[in-house]
Structures are given as C-alpha cells and as structure tokens.
A and B are shown apart, each in its own frame.
Chain A
C-alpha cells in the first residue's frame, strides 16, 4: 500500500515540527500535573495511538478516502447522535463515548470528516466558480454535525467546524462579494445571537471578557489569572516546574485549556516565541502542501483540515494570554486529551498524504 518512493516525499520537516510540539506539550503536562501521573501516561498513549492513526491516514490514498467520505461523514453523524443519547456526562456536557478503558470524543473526529466530505464536494464541482447553491449545500453539510455538537453542549468544538467551510469555500473560489456579505451578516447577527442563541454562562463569559474586573472572583477570575500567569513569566520564564501560578492551582485546568499559559510562565517569552514559531512553521508547511497538491481535492482537503487546527491554535493561544473569552477549546498537539491528539495527528496524516502523493496518479 505504502510504496517505497512515497516514503521519500513524506514531509519530514513538518513531522519534526509536529512531534516537537507534542514533546513540549508533554513536558508542560508533566510540569502542570506534578510528575509521571496517570494524565501524563494517558497523553503518551494518545500520542502513540495518534501516530498509528496518522500512519493509517497516510497509507490510504486520500482520493480513495474522499470517495468514501460520505460514509465516514455518516458514521460520524451516527456517533454524534449516539453521544447525545448515551454519552458520558462530565462537567455538564455529554461529549464522550465510554469505551471502558478510554473515553472517545467523536466531535474531535468530526472536523477531519467534514474536511474530507467538503473537499470532495467542492473538488468534484465542475463549475469554475462556486455558486450560492454550492455554498448552501456546504453550509447544510457542516450544519448537521455542528448542531449535534452544539447540543452536547460543546459550543467551542462546534464553532471550529465553521472555519472548515469558509477556508475550503474561499479557496474554492467563493466570490469576494459573498465573503463581504457573509462578514456583514456576521456583524448583524452577532447581537441577535447574543440575545437568543447564547446561554447565560456563555453571555457571562463574553461580558466578563470585556471587563474582567467586574467579576474578579467568578468568571473573570480565570482570565485575570491567565494574564498574571503569562505576564509573570517574563523573558526567560520561572523555570521548568517552577511556575507558581500553574503549580499552585491559581490557574485552573493548567494541563488542558491553559497549557500555553503554563508554558509562557515557566519558559517565558523565549519559550512562547519558539512554540509559536513551531506552530507557524507547521501551518505554513501545511499551506505549502496545499499549494503543491496534485488536484483541487487535495488542496481543499489540506485547507479544511488545517483551518480548524489553525483556528483552534490561534484562539487557544489568545485565550491563554487572557485576551479572549475563556472557552473550553484545547490547544491541538499540546493540551491533554486523547481524542484530540489522535484526531489531530490523523488529520496531519491526511495533509502528509496529499503532499506525499503529489506526483502519483
């Protein structure tokens, strides 16, 4: 299946960047949780399974995967519906399927599945530019999993599906007029959504973000603590495992949503620059893969996968610095979380897949 010559076209540089980020994340999880804990080992298993998933996504030609993408899409929808009824409840939301030893979070896999199915949809389009009907169909395809995920409720993950649609549609030739109109609609809809679509705690988070001091002990607490954590890091940081904010639990879920804050505290601005540089490098390498893709399908697939990844990285890093409302969005490749790690590495398998097969027929 994996031909020998393909092996030479694997993007080893991007892979190195990805694993460097995984290693940094692992180190910060070690620091934030206080050593070789169960969480630390779970993360290692996550990485190992992720590499396995990546290898699978790498070995099967993306075109044959795309051909079966509707089945993958349907499968994910079924899993999401199963979750809604039989999922494991934690922290007020029903997101996980209990597999006995591990819990699986299907929503993490929905992103790649959506990228696949949309890439196929737009890639097969024979028209030069995409029409409004195309957009409507694409929006509908994205809306079904989005609503299912939002119902869990997991608005953060649900929102990461939107960039997938936009990125693919944009590169697929969505007219600039529609881009403008959508931007305008977004601005107009926001207040309505504020009033009707958001739950109280979500509204509170956003209003707290605008003025954290109004609720320094409640919702604003995490945001203020995030800024203190990052700001107190300075240029060189407080040293590995020497961070006070993370170590003494002033910052909640330091190994998860706020792993980047802990990194910033312990490794300082220097560590932040290195890590941000690695992320940018990986993203630019992936965009390069899209540019080199043999066909539109490949380019769209890369972009779709990359879009949710990039969105999530940027949002999480911004939030880690206390510059965005606190939302349960993890930092891909670094945050603790098995499903996220496996899904992310599998998605990068698809990107490598496209680049690797740029010369094949």
Chain B
C-alpha cells in the first residue's frame, strides 16, 4: 500500500515539476520573443550605435586662383587631435595624459571638453587643431599601446592663405559656424567651417564642399576594425578671381615701403579695370594673417587682433570712411560742367583767399594762383576756384553728380559689410538733423571737407567712372567658377548707374588730372613715362588745426590722410584706382605707391620685367602738411607751403 501510495505521490509531484518546467520555458520563450521580435528595432539601433561610427570627412574648400590662374588660396593637410568620450572610463585621466603627451595645459583641455559636454559622446571633441608632427607621433604611439584609446588623430584639409597677409581682408577667413546660422540654414551643421569674412563669406555656398562620411566598425575598445562604407567628400568649387597677383603684390610692396619709412602702416588701395569693374588689387592695411584662423584661432591671437589700436580686422577698403579732401574736386567740376554752369574756359581769380557769406576761405597757396581756368585749377588744386563754382552750383547739384560718379553710395562690391560714405544734401540735412542747409556749408563741401566722407572702394569707382566716361561699374571679384566640369565665366554685374558725360567736358577734367601728374601738379610722383597717368592727390585733415593743438599731447596719430585717385592712360584708360594712406601725411606719398601699381600693371600687360618695388627712401617724410591747412574756416595760415611738384 505504502509503496503504491509512494508511487502515486511521486507521479503527481513529478507531473507538477513537468508542468512547472514547461511553464518556465514558455515564459523564457515569451521573454525572448519580446526582446527579439517586439523590441527588435530599438535594440538593433543600439547595437548599431555600439559598433558603428560615422566619421565626418571634411571637404576641402574650393581653391582660389587669380585672373592668370595662379593659386591664391589653397588647402593643406593638417592633423586634429580629439577625444571620443564614448568608451572613456576615466575622462580626467585621459585629459591628464593627453595634456602631458601633447604638451598642453590641463585646464585648457578641461575647458574645451566642458564646452562640448552636452554633445553626443561619440562625437569627437577637437582638442588640438593643426597639431604638430611631434604631437601626432606621441599620441599615435600611446594609442598603439592602448594607453589613449579614446584619443583620435584625424587628417583634415585646412585653408592656406598667402604669406604676410597679402589681400587678407579680401580673402577673409573661415571659422566654425555659430548656432544661429545652423538654425537658419539647413545646409549647415554644427562644427562646419564657414567663411566669416571677405570672399570666404560672400562665396561660402560655392566654396564650401560637401563633407563626406566614413562608416566604420569599431570594437568595444573603440579600435577601428573595418570600413562599412565611405562617401568621399566633394571639394568646394574652384573660383577664379579678377585679382592679378602681381598687381596685388605691387600694392603690398608700396605699403611695405610706406611702413618701413615709418610713414604709415595703415591704409587701403583698390585697383579696377575701369571698363568692367573687375578688381585687380585690393588691400587694407594693417592686415592680419588669415592662416591663424584657418585652424581655429587661439584666444591670445584673437584678443591681440581685437584690441589692437590699429584695428587690423577692419577692412578699411570698404568699411573705412574718410574725408576725400581735394580728390573731391573733380566731382564738383563735373557737376558745374554738366549742369552748364561753367565751361572749361571759365576763369576765377585766386588771391589766396575769398569771401563767401561774410567769411574768409583760404586757398592752400598763400598769395593765390592768380587768374586760373578749370584745367589749371585741377592741376594746381586751387581751392578758391572750387569754392567759387561750388557756391554757384549749390550742394544738391554737387550731391547729384558725386552720386552719379560713385561717391556717397555703396559700390555694390561682392564683399560683405560694405559701409556707405556721405555726400551731404539739403534733403539729407533736413532728414538727419532737422535743420536747413546753409549755403555757407557748401563752400567746405566743394573742396571735399565738411561732412563729405567716402570709402576707398567708392573712390576707386569714382576714378573708374571718370575714366570710362560715366558708367558707374560695379566692382567685383569673381571671374569664373569651376564646378568640376570646367571653368565657366561669370558675367560681370550690371553697372550701378550710367550717365553719358559730354566728351569735351570730361576731357577738360582729364586734361587737368593729366597735368597733376605730368604737368606742374602735385601728383608728379605717379608719373610713368609713356602711359599718361592721370590722377589727383588729396590731403585730408584728421582733425581741425585748433583741435590738433589741444589733442597733441594725447599721443594719437593726428597726421593727415593722403589720397591718390588715378587712371591710365588718359585717353583710353585700362586701369583705375585709389591709394589711401591713413596718416600718410599727404597725397604725393600715395601717388608714389600708385606709380608702382601702374608701372607693374603695364609691365605685366606688355610682358616686360616687373619694376622693382619702391624703397622707403622713395616715400616722402614730410610733416609740413602743405595741402591740409587753410581749408577750414578760421584755421591759421600754414607756416610754409611746400610745393613738391618742382
């Protein structure tokens, strides 16, 4: 009995165990079904994230060429060192070790990492841009030893600009895109390098390539095992600029001579083809080295650039606003001629000063020029002549013709952040100052003083408009684009405005300008034998003479600004432009720089050897300020008048 009972109990309890096993295994089966079928997609993605890395392959930006095919801005290979935190066990240890190996400051590295803390951990945090070969070698050795498995060295293309900051403002620079730009532009992503200034900014959409990507398989140590797929980066479009490297170099050499002569290290120059508006040279001094931005600018360099008294980051060529001085006189002459107020033979007697509205206005030349006609007045820069015809014109007609010639308006150059100058008018004064224009104010305007201000680029357009007979060409820098299927020329932008200047009236002004350089005028230092260089110097005061005395102790540079606007040859101009020397004392120094530019232009065109750059000795070292004084009402007479046209 007991045995049978025993049997039955065993059978029952075995059945219980059997059922329990089946139930448990069924539960296991359901668990796996949930994980592998129901939640499969989620885990599949997690597994992919585990072992797949998408590495961005940075696309090189488009190469920039000059008009003759010479490379201006290229790309070079550089190395970046980054931390990938994904499998980092001890970030502090990694940072400490990396700093030690690469010779970095631990706190700096901590700060960089902290800045990117919220980004996904698989995205590399770039710690060193443009690493030295020694750093790369040291890191690579540690990586092979598995000491720094979470540090990666990547090769990236980096912008390379010409040395010595040639055309730095024209090229601009690149930098990491900011969050606001990413938010508004779908084609940009965080970490992209975009143009921040200059051509790099204007043509960023063309220059920026398409980044590639490499999907790699990594193991649990973060080591790459294989490549799953690779989309190579597409290089940005290559651009041919209108720039001529040799002319650009000539501008640079001119500024260098002025700098070496301790005349000035600041200024701007723009050289145009007056018939098309193509920019042949473009400079703003002092410049900076765009290469320091190419691989991420360091704080110290940035601070020194932004706090420099000379503001090297400012692009004086399009953003600087200066009084044009005597260079404004052609606009007044053109207005008087075209409005029919005078003929080229109109004469004025200059006795050294003249009275208008109860006040005496001086000519720069004590004793005066005597009876003088338009051509001579331009050549001699006679102030009384222009006071007189300016007074006859009225400010609004001056405004009209100055605008038609390109002053007081934007040039429309394909550069970012162009500033606009000012040629006053009655309307302007009423609108801005809610005041009536006084006729007496016109007298100062007539010689380019008072409220008149111009940007160097607008002065270049002004020169070009006088050179081509009334077409206000749009200065531009882009000549052709290569999108990978050969060069395609880019049409020149339409002129900003066009007016038919009467040839015989224009000729009178051109003759005057020719005389400035080739006759007895102030610009004879720009003379290039056989090329009929025509131009006008201008010397503009930075401060009134009364203020000068007061501010003399401040240590600021109060020397006058020197201008020279020019074109050549006189009758069939091929080149036009402006040279502006900030505190360059007076126009003739600028004229000397212009001579080198014009001489280089024609030598290159005709295949002759290029002229040697000007020496510092070629630059006049003159503080006597012969043309700046006496223009302002109430200013004391100059102690001596130096006429350098002898």
Contacts and interface: CB of A to CB of B under 8 A. Distances in A.
Interface of A: 128, 167, 170-171, 173, 217, 225, 227-235, 244-245, 248-250, 264, 268-269, 272-273, 276, 279-280, 283-284, 287, 290-291, 296, 299, 303, 310, 314, 317-318, 321, 323
B28 A231 contact: no
Nearest to B35: A231
B25 A228 contact: no
A227 B32 contact: no
Interface string B40-51: 101110111011
Interface stretch (B10-18, B57-65, B417-425, B543-551): B10-18
B21 interface: yes
Secondary structure dominating the interface of B: helix
A251 to B, nearest CB: 8
Contacts of B13: 170-171
Nearest to A128: B2
Contacts of A228: 43, 46-47, 50
A163 to B, nearest CB: 11
B5 interface: yes
Contacts of B89: 217
A237 B36 CA distance: 9
B35 A248 contact: no
Contacts of A170: 13, 17
B77 interface: no
A250 B21 contact: no
A231 B22 contact: no
B35 A227 contact: yes
6 contacts: A232-B43, A264-B36, A269-B32, A276-B32, A318-B31, A321-B28
A272 B457 CA distance: 77
Contacts of B221: 249
B206 interface: no
Nearest to A173: B9
B39 A231 contact: yes
Given A235-B36, A235-B37, A272-B36, A283 B225 contact: no
Contact of B44 (A232, A283, A284): A232
A334 B217 CA distance: 28
Contact of A171 (B2, B14, B42, B44): B14
Contacts of A321: 28, 31-32, 35
Residue among B5, B21, B24 facing the most chain A CB atoms (10 A cut-off): B21
B33 interface: yes
Contacts of B36: 230-231, 233-235, 264, 268-269, 272
A303 B31 CA distance: 26
Interface of B: 2, 5-6, 9-11, 13-14, 17-18, 21-22, 24-25, 28-29, 31-33, 35-37, 39-40, 42-44, 46-48, 50-51, 89, 217-221, 225
The 6 closest A-B pairs by CB, nearest first: A231-B43, A232-B47, A248-B219, A269-B36, A249-B220, A231-B35
A112 to B, nearest CB: 19
Most buried by A among B33, B43, B220, B225: B43
A280 B43 contact: no
A214 to B, nearest CB: 17
Contacts of A280: 21-22, 25
A296 to B, nearest CB: 7
Contact of B32 (A128, A248, A250, A272): A272
A296 B14 CA distance: 12
Nearest to A269: B36
Given A231-B39, A231-B40, A291-B11, A318 B28 contact: yes
Contacts of B2: 128
Contacts of B47: 228-229, 231-232, 244-245
A230 B6 contact: no
B43 A230 contact: yes
A279 B21 CA distance: 10
Contacts of A279: 25
A167 B32 contact: no
Given A244-B47, A310-B21, A232 B40 contact: yes
Contacts of B43: 227-228, 230-232
Contacts of A235: 36-37, 40
A105 B89 CA distance: 34
Nearest to B39: A231
Contact of A248 (B18, B44, B51): B51
B32 A244 contact: no
A244 B50 contact: yes
B534 to A, nearest CB: 76
Contacts of A290: 10, 14
A128 B1 CA distance: 10
A245 B2 CA distance: 57
A289 to B, nearest CB: 10
Given A230-B35, A231-B44, 11 more contacts: A173-B6, A228-B50, A230-B43, A234-B40, A235-B40, A250-B220, A269-B33, A284-B22, A296-B10, A321-B28, A323-B31
Nearest to A244: B51
Contacts of B51: 244-245, 248, 250
Given A128-B5, A217-B89, A273 B29 contact: yes
A149 B419 CA distance: 86
Nearest to B225: A248
B28 A284 contact: no
A287 B20 CA distance: 12
